[in-house]
Amino acid sequence: MFKIISIEDSILNPTLWIGNFEWREPITTLTDLLTSVVCLFLYFQLKNYKGRKAESFNHYKNYYLFFAFSMFSAAWFGHGLQAYVSFDWKKIGWVLSSLGFLQIELGTLKDAQNLISKKLYSILKNGVYLQFIILVSLMVYYQNFKIPQINSTLTFVLFVLPLQIYLYLKTKNKGHLIVISAIVYAALPGVIYNNQVSVSKWLNYHDISHLLMASFMLILYQGVVKIIKT
């Protein structure tokens, strides 16, 4: 029933055959699914929260929902079912992650709304939507994973991080400090992925970066909870 076949790229998980079903990169699929489950769990934690909520609450909540779907899509269309679907199916996960990035940008901006001028708020909000439209259009048109990577960098390094630093300096809310720490920590899975740091073909750079991303989501949640209670 079970058969393992090595593939050309020695860094990638060997293919697992279950009867006639070809399962590509099984460990990578499972670590993506783990991240998806973590995101879905955190989404329901927020959804079921009954206390005082900041105006940014729904944006942060939806960030986790979109990423739960994004990582689920990446697990199967990006890895597990590669033998059955074309490369274009990966774009589903890319677009879903872009919707997630949009939500965390809007949530952070909503937190800053009363601390910046209306003109600056409007400029930043329009810029966020423009970024989303341009990068999603590029994702749909081109087959290049660097585009969602660029989107992630623009979102966290050039937008969310500076605003979160500004918010912490203005409010001293520890939630913003935790979010800042989470974003700094998020550089680690990026370094692991880009440098293809692997333990073995059964725990490669995909797998390690997915596990680190799941922990990033948990750290980020600790900050989000403190923010939404203000």
Closest CA to 84 of 186, 6, 15, 37: 15
pTM of the predicted protein model: 0.94
Residue 218 lies in a domain: yes
What is the token pair recorded at 98? 């872009």
Q: What is the DSSP string of 29-77?
A: HHHHHHHHHHHHHHHHHHHT--S---TTHHHHHHHHHHHHHHHHHIIII
Residue ranges of the chain whose pLDDT lies below 50: none
Residue 110 lies in a domain: yes
Contact 227, 211 (CB under 8 A): no
Place of tokens 């912490």: 168
Q: Is the dihedral of CA 45, 155, 138, 198 positive or negative?
A: negative
Number of domains the chain contains: 1
Q: How many CB atoms lie within 10 A of CB 203?
A: 15
Predicted confidence at residue 4, as pLDDT, reads 61
Residue 85's domain comprises 25-228
Predicted confidence at residue 5, as pLDDT, reads 56
Predicted confidence at residue 9, as pLDDT, reads 64
Predicted confidence at residue 8, as pLDDT, reads 54
Residue 164 lies in a domain: yes
Residue 120 lies in a domain: yes
Q: What is the mean pLDDT of the chain?
A: 95
* 202-213: pLDDT as tens digits: 999 999 999 999
Residue 82 lies in a domain: yes
Predicted confidence at residue 229, as pLDDT, reads 86
Predicted confidence at residue 10, as pLDDT, reads 75
Residue 29 lies in a domain: yes
User: Please, which residues have CB within 8 angstroms of residue 77's CB and are 6 or more apart in sequence?
Assistant: 85, 89, 90, 92, 93
Residue 174 lies in a domain: yes
